[in-house]
Amino acid sequence: MRVNLGIDHSTSRPRRLISAAALCLAALGLAGTAGANTSNGYNLPTGVTDLARDMYGLHMEVFWICVGIAIVVFGAMIYALVKFRHSQGAVADTSMLHSTKVEVIWTIIPVVILVVMAIPAADLILKQEDTRNSQLSIRVTGYQWKWEYSYMDSAEGVDFFSTLARDSNFARQVNSGIDPKSVPNYLLEVDKPLVIPSGTKVRLLLTSQDVIHAWWVPDFGAKRAAIPGFVNELWFKVDPGKEGIYRGQCAALCGRDHGFMPVVVDVRTPDEFKKWVEIQKAAAKQAALPAPAPPAAPPTAQALPN
């Protein structure tokens, strides 16, 4: 039920329009569908992966338990504040020193509540850490202040950097005079997003070339530090039918432009992803060829003296 709520919101028309406009403006030339942020602006995103949904569910479970405890505890406090006022003639009961019975009770009850929270949490930890049987691995390297995505497995050879989009970069300069609200996806847009297939278990291998960064897409429930000298792992599997653009940010203070190295993921259907990989590979091959310039050069050279 909660999941539905979030999805309804995410597909609301204005947001879709804005995202679509953003895509056009960015002139990415991609066949991406509308972007989606499944947070309602004051709560965790309901997410588009199993893990994110489980996180949301556990978050709400713990939240409501806390609300329940708060009602009891704050209720007792407020009752005491209202009922036992000196000005209302309340007389203190100075014989109330301690009671082993109630103290044991209010030690044991919290323990039970904590166990109730810990069991599903432990379950989810095991699920989260299970990176086996991934279908696509991508190496993610953090730099000050950009990300490098190096594909492995079926997309071996595709490798590129992803940095803050130009219009965001102009607008974010001190006193740029550009209203951030006029920039589509201000600070959450990159020149080249990470492209992944939906319905596929994607495993990221994270590391860094300089300082510690953290890769984070809230809608995937995926956050992990990228640490020099270490390779951290995380996985996610975006639900089929949830293709679109998902956005996040670096989540570890990494210096001056820490706030300006967004993570943007373009989720496509496996077929479209395959096509995209082929285009990338072809482009890479083209770039790797000895430059086609020499055959073209002689005519130019000849043309010049004339």
Token pair, residue 54, equals: 């489980």
- Report how far apart, in Å, the C-alpha atoms of 186 and of each of 143, 247, 250, 259, 271 are: 21, 11, 15, 11, 30
| Nearby residues of 125 by Cβ (< 8 Å), 6 or more positions away | none
* Nearest CB to another protein, comparing residues 107 and 133: 107
**Which of residues 228, 240, 279, 297 is near another protein by CB under 8 A?**
228
Site residues for another protein, window 40-99 (CB under 8 A)?
Answer: 40-45, 52, 54-55, 58-59, 62-63, 66, 69-70, 73-74, 76-77, 80-81, 84-87, 90-94, 96-99
Instruction: Please state the closest distance from residue 137 (CB atom) to another protein, in A.
Output: 16
Instruction: Please state the closest distance from residue 303 (CB atom) to another protein, in A.
Output: 50
**Which of residues 110, 157, 240, 241 is near another protein by CB under 8 A?**
110
Q: Nearest Cα to 47, choosing from 279, 217, 255, 188? A: 217
Q: At 235, which helix (H) or strand (E)?
A: strand 232-236
Instruction: Please state the closest distance from residue 79 (CB atom) to another protein, in A.
Output: 9
The answer to whether 146 touches 163, Cβ cutoff 8 Å, is yes
Q: Is residue 110 classed exposed, middle or buried when 0-12, 13-18 and 19+ CB atoms within 10 A define those classes? A: exposed
Judged by CB under 8 A, which stretch of 149-157, 230-238, 270-278, 280-288 contacts another protein? 230-238
In three-state secondary structure terms, 189 is coil
Instruction: Please state the closest distance from residue 165 (CB atom) to another protein, in A.
Output: 12
Pattern of binders to another protein over 120-139, x per CB under 8 A?
A: -xx-xxx-xx----------
The answer to whether 196 touches 152, Cβ cutoff 8 Å, is no
Instruction: Please state the closest distance from residue 15 (CB atom) to another protein, in A.
Output: 10
Site residues for another protein, window 257-296 (CB under 8 A)?
Answer: 257-260
Token pair, residue 20, equals: 């679509």
Site residues for another protein, window 17-46 (CB under 8 A)?
Answer: 37, 39-45
Taking the C-alpha atoms of residue 150 and residue 186, their distance in angstroms, rounded to an integer, is 26
